[in-house]
Amino acid sequence: APGGLVLGIETSCDETAAAVVAGGTRLLSNVVASQVEVHRRFGGVVPEIASRRHVEALLPVVRQALDDAGLELKDLDAVAVTQGPGLVGALLVGIAGAKALAYASGLPLVAVNHIEGHLYANRLEHPELEPPFLCLIASGGHTELLEVPAWGAYRRLGRTRDDAAGEAIDKIGRVLGLPYPAGAEMDRLAREGDPSAFPFPRALRGEGFDFSFSGLKTAALNEIRRLQARGPLPVADLAASFQEAVVGVLAEKALAAARAVGAGRIALAGGVAANSRLRELLAEAAAAEGRVLYVPRPAFCTDNAAMIAAAGWVRWQRGERAGLDLNAAPALSL
Ligand code: KG4
Ligand code: ZN
């Protein structure tokens, strides 16, 4: 097995995370300190609070990741950190911490793109997965369809033009009275409802590989307001119908993209990839066309540092190094 012990650090949003991965695929430790309880009462992430929490949590989380792996900083080969995209103040905490650790230990520093990181959750879960493959990344911040011709190389086929899939789910979930973030609860509730109860619009259907969820969001909001005036909301039917519209389009476009580029393998990533209906729809449709679907376990789908370490390992191996002048890139794209 190839060597290379990489410490990954991730602070782009509301999870303070550190992990140690060997050889880009073997997980030695994976620590995530979630702030979700803190932000829940605001119905979303409050950037200023997130930064402060990262400052408090970062070093204990790194310490824990090293302890769990049974390693000291000096045993490692590199420190990989999320450079962006994400909240600038949150990113800066992880970057400052990673720089300090790298400087103090003499280890090389490697910068990782968070979206690229999500993709590597698949490599952690399925070490046998090799490019080329197609990857659908859907989370609270991103919705992207990528072609991966080789590790470390990406071609974007499509992206959202407005809201991310998870962002739309969280907004409608909030109106339905679900706790933030709403994805997991909507997933559960949708199983009790009728996905065809409300025929919500599906934008850009059959029109390339871009996504748009804002029209769907508005249509759902209007329907919810109309129903609210009449009595108790049919919450399960609304959740099921809304979720079906979101994940239906995701699944349809991922398959169409796989056909277009001739991808025999489709990988899912990002928090929304934890959605059971999306997994079910894609598993069936992919199998019917003889394509193989790869899905990471839910803990690898949502934000974590193992995926950052795995992505960082590829860059480290290629000799990519970041300087101590590394800055956060809140709008970094792939
Ligand atoms: O990847 P992630 O943890 O953070 C970002 O990089 O954004 O994704 C979080 C998103 C949230 O919008 C959350 O509601 C959604 O993933 N999510 C789900 C499920 N679990 C988490 N969406 C649908 N179904 C789920 N089971
Ligand atoms: Zn993410």
CATH 3.30.420.40 fits 131-295, yes or no: yes
Q: Mean of the pLDDT values across residues 297-321?
A: 97
Spacing of C-alpha 103 from chain mean position: 29
> Is there an atom of ligand 1 within 6 Å of 181 CB?
yes
Domain 5-119+301-317 in this protein, CATH class: alpha beta
Instruction: Tell me if 139 CB under 6 Å of ligand 1.
Output: yes
pLDDT at 334: 87
pLDDT in tens, 34-47: 999 999 989 889 99
Residue 1 pLDDT > 50: no
Residue nearest to atom 8 of ligand 1 (CA): 271
Contact 177, 235 (CB under 8 A): yes
Q: Convert the pLDDT of each residue in 275-303 to its tens digit.
A: 999 999 999 999 999 999 999 999 999 99
Same fold, 5-119+301-317 and 131-295: yes
- Which tens digits make up the pLDDT trace of 104-146? 999 999 999 999 999 999 999 999 999 999 999 999 999 999 9
Domain boundaries, the chain: 5-119+301-317, 131-295
Mean pLDDT, residues 226-240: 96
Instruction: Quote the ligand 1 centre to 206 CA distance (angstroms).
Output: 25
Specify the ligand 1 atom closest to the Cα of 173. 14
Tell me, using a 6 A CB cutoff, whether residue 13 lines ligand 1.
yes
The pick from 137, 272, 276, 300 for probing ligand 1's pocket by mutation, whose C-beta has the most ligand atoms within 8 angstroms, reads 272
Q: Among all ligands shown, which has an atom nearest to the Cα of 167?
A: 1
Which protein residue has the closest C-alpha to ligand 1 atom 14?
A: 183
Contact in structure between 316 and 80 (CB atoms under 8 Å)? yes
Ligand 1 touching residue 184 (CB < 6 A) = yes
Pairing, β 5-10 against β 15-22: antiparallel
Q: Measured from the CB, is residue 296 less than 6 Å from ligand 1?
A: no
- Percent above pLDDT 90 for the chain: 96
Residue 304 makes CB contacts below 8 A (sequence gap 6+) with 10, 15, 17, 19, 30, 32, 121
Provide Rg for the chain, Cα atoms.
20
Distance from the alpha carbon of residue 214 to the mean position of ligand 1, in angstroms? 17
pTM over 0.90, yes/no? yes
Could you read off the pLDDT of 170-211 as tens digits, one per residue? 999 999 999 999 999 999 999 999 999 999 999 999 999 999
User: 220 CB less than 6 Å from ligand 1?
Assistant: no
**How far is it, in rounded angstroms, from Cα 82 to Cα 311?**
10
User: Cα(190)–Cα(236) distance, rounded to whole angstroms?
Assistant: 6
**Beta strand pairing status for 265-269 and 133-138?**
parallel
Instruction: Write the burial class of residue 283 (CB in 10 Å: 0-12 exposed, 13-18 middle, 19+ buried).
Output: middle
What is the average per-residue pLDDT within 7-26?
97
Q: Whose CA is nearest to atom 3 of ligand 1?
A: 302
Which residues line the annotated binding site for Fe cation? 114, 118, 303
* pLDDT bracket for residue 227 (50, 70, 90): very high
Ligand lying nearest the CA atom of residue 36: 1
Residue 145 token pair: 């369809």
What pLDDT digit, counting tens, does each position of 249-268 carry? 999 999 999 999 999 999 99
With a 6 A CB cut-off, is 158 part of the ligand 1 pocket? no
Q: Is the pLDDT of residue 2 over 60?
A: no
